[in-house]
Amino acid sequence: MKRERSARIIATLGPSSSSRECIRALVGAGADVFRLNFSHGKHADHAESVQLIRAVEHEVGRPIGVLMDLQGPKLRVGRFAAGAVVLAQGARFRLDLEPTAGDAERANLPHPEIFAALKVGTELLLDDGKLRLRVDAFGADFAETTVLVGGVLSDRKGVNVPGAVLPISPLTAKDLADLDFGLTLGVDWVALSFVQRAEDVREARAIIGDRAWIMAKLEKPAAIDQLEPIVALADGVMVARGDLGVEMPPQQVPVLQRRIVRAARAAGKPVVVATQMLESMVSAPVPTRAEASDVATAIYDGADAVMLSAESASGQYPVEAVDIMHRIIGEVEQDPAWRAGLEASHSPAGANTPDAICSALRGVAELLEPAATVAYTSSGFSALRASRERPVTPILALTLQMTTARRLTLAWGVHPVPFEEVHDLDAMVEHAAAAAQAHGFAQAGDAVIVIAGLPFGRSGSTNLLHVARIPA
């Protein structure tokens, strides 16, 4: 089950992939992390999925990550007396808190926080941006609008407010209940939806603590305005292109994707590119050429992972989707231009000891061409700082904590390996060489780089770089 590629694959589980046999096949095809979408499914379904993932993990003998994706607030209009209405361009349309069924002139919008954030001229997007309204007047419980782009509007369609920061928590009552349940299952990552500001990540951290790592989903224009503070507080970020593409002009999404990837790489935080990567494979056994290029672009940019959603959750070809994604990544990573691009987009290391050690690691690896880098890590910090440098060697992350090993399954180039504790430098070097050989990354006579923090077990203390030669 050794991975020959550096970028990772997240596969969403669902009706098409919920059996143990399919999960095992997805891992064999290249899945490194499984996403549980808490917008769908019951708690019992997700509990069974985690149980099956852990059974497969034991079978294949390598850590597998589990990411729970919270639904977040869903802003929707109410119901219509006729089930649907047609809004004509230029027509007047009222939104209010009145709970009665709507018609072609007004509709219920049961979200006072939206009215609180409005300004004259604010645009409202309905039904994933298919309809567009302009706010002409508003109050605490209503908004008078003009229809800019008309169409059919039916019951419970979504509402987006791209030009405003809404006074709303990213964690609904449902999310809090789901989060409590997911943490009891031992999920490794929590994907936080509806992030608008750094305080949203801080709010989630107060609840989650160190029980899981937090991935901020960047899907709101307001979040882009606070990109660096959000990246600094989160453990990882996701480019959620579906929702981002609703609230931003489509031509801006590729530019924002690259900006987000670079910001996360500079901070040394794992970054995932998601949504509609191989969308046609929901119903077709092969992707379009454009989709293959889309996956490749994320890999050329240096993303840690790419994600499948409906393709693996409800599509007809879940295993094939993972397999083709695996092959696209492998092809890109054999292209010399890929390595050249990583070097060109590399950010300078910070002025601190861990970054200095890992920057030196990058240079030593290029000069000596060792078989592998072995990072001893308790919290995952050393492995992530090494991953930030995008070295030419694979990174074996040796950790005492299975929770750390599972979290690191999402990090670029990192191969997490649980191990037993060592107490001195000689034992550490000997164990590193043995692990590199045992996992197929090195053989007798090869050099390996060892990085660690002394004294052992102190998080964030990376201060040692050692080059060792495996005895012939």
Is the bond preceding 418 in cis, omega lying within 30 degrees of 0?
no
Question: Parallel, antiparallel, or unpaired: how do β-strands 271-274 and 236-240 relate?
Answer: parallel
Catalytic residue among 217, 220, 269, 390: 217
CB 142 within 8 A of CB 96: yes
Which residue in 74, 76, 130, 174 is the catalytic one? 76
Tell me whether residue 458 is one of the annotated catalytic residues: no
Measured distance CA(139)–CA(116) in Å, rounded? 8
3-state DSSP call for residue 112? Answer: helix
Select which of 12, 275, 373, 393 is catalytic.
Answer: 275
Q: How far apart are CA 180 and CA 200, in angstroms?
A: 17
Pull the structure tokens for residue 121.
């001229």
Active site residue 134: no
35 a catalytic residue? yes
Nearest alpha-carbon partner for 244 in 267, 217, 271, 225: 217
Gap between the Cα atoms of 119 and 81, Å rounded = 29
| Positive or negative torsion for Cα 331, 334, 337, 338 | positive
In 3D space, the residue among 281, 45, 247, 255 whose CA is nearest the CA of residue 129 turns out to be: 247
The span from the CA of 103 to the CA of 83, in Å, is: 9
DSSP 348: P
User: Distance (Å, rounded) from C-alpha 354 to C-alpha 344?
Assistant: 22
The catalytic residue among 3, 5, 24, 35 is: 35
**Straight-line distance from the first to the last Cα atom of the chain, in angstroms, rounded to the nearest whole number:** 26
What are the strands, taking DSSP E only, across 22-101?
33-37, 65-69, 84-87, 92-96
What is the token pair recorded at 294? 């889309």
Q: Which of 315, 311, 153, 162 is nearest to 243 (CA)?
A: 162
Q: Any catalytic annotation for residue 62? A: no
Catalytic residues: 35, 76, 217, 275
